[in-house]
Chains A and B, each alone.
Chain A
Amino acid sequence: MAEIDLNNPEIDVPAELKQQIAVTTLDRIYNWSRSNSLWPMMFGLACCAIEMICTAASRYDLSRFGMEVMRPSPRQADVMIVSGTVTKKMVPQIVRLYNQMSEPKYVIAMGACASGGGPFKEGYNVVPGVDKFIPVDVYVAGCPPTPQALLHGLIILQKKIEGEHIPDTRWYKKCVVEAIPIPILGPDIIDPRHFELIKEETHKPLPVVEEVVEGGETA
């Protein structure tokens, strides 16, 4: 509620003008309009995508919240709903799509898989959570989350947007925000931010424990 108070300046409007004049702040009107016209990216990964489609369909009807305009192009979308298991083979594309979205941009991790790997976490081709690569705003629990849960997640995101304050939000600052480096497919998925760590680890001498075992055998 704190944000809402902040956005309600205490200026008295004469009673006879109450119908004609509303006083608000730039933050409030701007966030209000943005949060009610979020355009999600039409982007399905796995089983959760089916529930996302159901959310958009007539029974649950996403458009009641101003979000029915699913855009297939990342350039026109405000929010990326990562709906499903993120695999190592797919993650370069997801990061690329995220980079292509224009700011302000938000990410919803829908379902157990996108949030943390879910039932497939230990799989060799699975990224345990999309937040390993891109920042996530809202996590929606469930496998798959019901349409109601996804709607709840989207409403939470709207609340988050309504609390934003233009001067201290990342994308209104002057500094350039670097794009997220695209992961590379090598012997395994490689995050370019970890090049040094990988090099260091793979060139470490073998752990001592194994040498002891070998020594024991020869002795």
Chain B
Amino acid sequence: MSDQIVIHPLYAKLLEKFPESVVMDERQGFSGIVVQAITLLEVVKELRDNLGYDYLSSVTAVDDFPEERLEVIYHLFKSIGGAPVEIKVFLEREEPVVPSLTPMYPGAELQEREVWDLYGIRFDDHPDLRRILLWEGFEGFPLRKDWKEPLYEEDTKPFKSRWPEGKGERKELLNPYKDNVQYPREFDPNTLSGDVDQAMYKSLEYSDDPNSRVLQTDQMVVNIGPQHPSTHGVFRMTVVMEGETIVNLKPVVGYLHRNHEKIGERNTWLQNMPYTDRLDYLAPMSNNFGYAITVEKLMGIVPTERAEYIRVMMAELTRIASHTMTTGFLLNDLGAYFTPALYALEERELILDIFEEVAGSRMMVNYFRFGGVVRDVSPEVLKKIRHLVYNRLPRKIDELDKYISANEIVRIRCEGVGVLTADDAIAFSTTGPNLRASGVPYDVRRADPYSIYESLDFDVCTRDHGDVFDRYRVRIDEIHQSIRILKQVLDRIPEGPIMAGKPQYVAKVPAGEAYGRVEGPRGELGFYVVSDGKPNPKRYHVRAPSFINLTSLAQMCKGAKVADAVTILGAVDIVLGEVDR
């Protein structure tokens, strides 16, 4: 990296157009432009309408405490591929307000709510600004640096009480309630209403237009979840229905909000690796991959060649495992109770065996390190993978496909259901198979290549109808492409070391920021990290694909029947660990 800041031609254009209100972010290790809040909309409009940045990937914030400043960070992409443009807005910590981008990019809706929830940044003109991961009435904005959780010990790990002294004292015993809770002073529990959903129900009424009704019937509100077998975990949707037809729908999430980001900012860089496994627990290898390449960007190290091949191999195996499982469970949602899922799980088990052999654990692999992977794959494992790839998977996937694609009920239930047009899919920031099923050939492996994907031969699978059936078809096609990639990787994998340099237990990460992304099974999985040179990240944000894919759920479900909503949700393929983080 050179010291001289080279201004990207795009940024130069913006600087020229908005000389008053746009400046470069000139801090060492940082990039992007800083825009004033009042001109944000103009700059973004210029980017979207004239410069082709039609895809808003991520919205997040950073707290610069003890400086009196909050930053809102936007990453925009072109849906035809390429590097991001990064926009920042600096705000005061007291009463921060920024205009909402939701009217321009509907895909920002849930992300802006998340920033409001965790940072307390208000978005003007947001259609429905409520807490999302926590509940209305929660005290404080937890991701602010000066907010302390009830079991707070120190700002950074390893905590002194455990290491090096190692005289652990259980923190909750010092808490007056002997538990992981805290209450504001003068709080009286008897004055509590306990009704946290009122605002949500109100927002449902607002968005419903009485003129659009066909029949003058009573509307009914039904909650599906959080404990419901068809919601794939603890997801809840609140549905307004007229008869059986859905008029409006709100996803309610946060039932598995495990505070990845707060914990991640206390952890050291390396300690976060096992936590990423638990984000999208159906695809742990991809999560490792995303985090590893992001931090490597910041550290400026390049993994060894063998490690790159191993990484790609594992990521593609994960994709196969995850897509087969999704396909099986989609059939569950259609009412083919559990038998097709058993077929899918059978293949997944074989892939998990491989993970167990290389990483030591079936699900929580914790396999990647900065600069490589933690253990080498033995020739026996390669033989097993070769057997799977050449002899078993193609046959089994075809078998599964044959049973499903030719099934009349599946086709009637899936075709033309939950349609999302290409324009809508881009506007809603949809990613992954959902985006490609709408006919947009956008795959991070091709659009913004990382690792060795550039040298590999594979197709970006698309379909044109954007319905549930096409989402399923795209997944099956992608499994075949993954098998194709695996064949190439198996033939070319070189011998050599699996780690660049010596293994480090404390990663030294220079100050700066990085946004890295990979194409996970559910779409663009992004990590935004900021370092201030300390052993732990200052900001650790996960751009979770399935969380953002939920933004378009209401759009897809309107006009459908309740039973279809379950199928549509199944085809969106959410994993709650990632949605709620």
* Interface mask (B184-218 → A, CB under 8 Å = 1, otherwise 0): 11111110101010000000000000000000000
B150 at interface by CB-CB < 8 Å: yes
Q: Do residues A54 and B349 form an inter-chain contact, with CB atoms below 8 A?
A: yes
**Known contacts A132-B179, A185-B196; A120/B190 CB under 8 A:** no
B563 at interface by CB-CB < 8 Å: no
Can you name the residue of chain B whose Cβ is closest to the Cβ of A196? B189
Minimum Cβ distance to chain A for residue B237 (Å): 15
A40 at interface by CB-CB < 8 Å: no
Q: Do residues A188 and B149 form an inter-chain contact, with CB atoms below 8 A?
A: no
Interface residues of A toward B: which range? 35 or more
A89 at interface by CB-CB < 8 Å: yes
A153 at interface by CB-CB < 8 Å: no
* Interface mask (B308-352 → A, CB under 8 Å = 1, otherwise 0): 000000000000000000000000000000000110011001000
**Known contacts A87-B256, A90-B226, A123-B263; A201/B177 CB under 8 A:** yes
Q: For B171, what are the chain A residues with a Cβ–Cβ distance below 8 Å? A: 122
Q: Do residues A125 and B183 form an inter-chain contact, with CB atoms below 8 A?
A: no
* Interface mask (A130-168 → B, CB under 8 Å = 1, otherwise 0): 001000000000011010000000000000000000000
Can you name the residue of chain B whose Cβ is closest to the Cβ of A91? B255
Q: Do residues B137 and A185 form an inter-chain contact, with CB atoms below 8 A?
A: yes
Minimum Cβ distance to chain A for residue B322 (Å): 11
B565 at interface by CB-CB < 8 Å: no
Q: Do residues B255 and A87 form an inter-chain contact, with CB atoms below 8 A?
A: yes
B180 at interface by CB-CB < 8 Å: yes
Minimum Cβ distance to chain B for residue A123 (Å): 3
What is the bound-complex CA distance between A202 and B186, given in angstroms?
5
**Known contacts A122-B151, A186-B189, A187-B139; A46/B183 CB under 8 A:** no
Q: Do residues B282 and A50 form an inter-chain contact, with CB atoms below 8 A?
A: yes
Which parts of B220-236 form the interface with A (CB within 8 Å)? Answer: 226-229, 233-234
Q: For A185, what are the chain B residues with a Cβ–Cβ distance below 8 Å? A: 135, 137-138, 194, 196
Q: For B458, what are the chain A residues with a Cβ–Cβ distance below 8 Å? A: none
Which parts of B229-282 form the interface with A (CB within 8 Å)? Answer: 229, 233-234, 254-259, 262-263, 266, 274-275, 278, 281-282
Q: For A54, what are the chain B residues with a Cβ–Cβ distance below 8 Å? A: 345, 349
Give which listed residue, A72, A146, A197, contacts B177 with CB less than 8 A: A197
Interface residues of B toward A: which range? 35 or more
Minimum Cβ distance to chain A for residue B181 (Å): 5
Can you name the residue of chain A whose Cβ is closest to the Cβ of B147? A124
What is the bound-complex CA distance between A201 and B186, given in angstroms?
9
Q: Do residues B192 and A47 form an inter-chain contact, with CB atoms below 8 A?
A: no
Minimum Cβ distance to chain A for residue B97 (Å): 24
Name B residues whose Cβ lies closer than 8 Å to a Cβ of A. 133-135, 137-139, 142, 149-153, 171-172, 176-177, 179-190, 192, 194, 196, 226-229, 233-234, 254-259, 262-263, 266, 274-275, 278, 281-282, 341-342, 345-346, 349, 362-364, 576-577
Name A residues whose Cβ lies closer than 8 Å to a Cβ of B. 42-47, 49-51, 53-54, 57-59, 72, 84-85, 87, 89-90, 93, 97, 117, 119-128, 132, 143-144, 146, 184-191, 194-195, 197-199, 201-203
Q: What are 28 pairs between A and B in contact, CB < 8 Å?
A: A46-B234, A46-B281, A46-B576, A47-B278, A47-B363, A49-B233, A54-B345, A57-B342, A58-B342, A84-B256, A85-B256, A87-B254, A87-B258, A89-B254, A90-B255, A93-B226, A122-B266, A124-B262, A125-B133, A125-B258, A127-B180, A128-B151, A186-B137, A186-B183, A187-B139, A187-B187, A190-B189, A195-B190
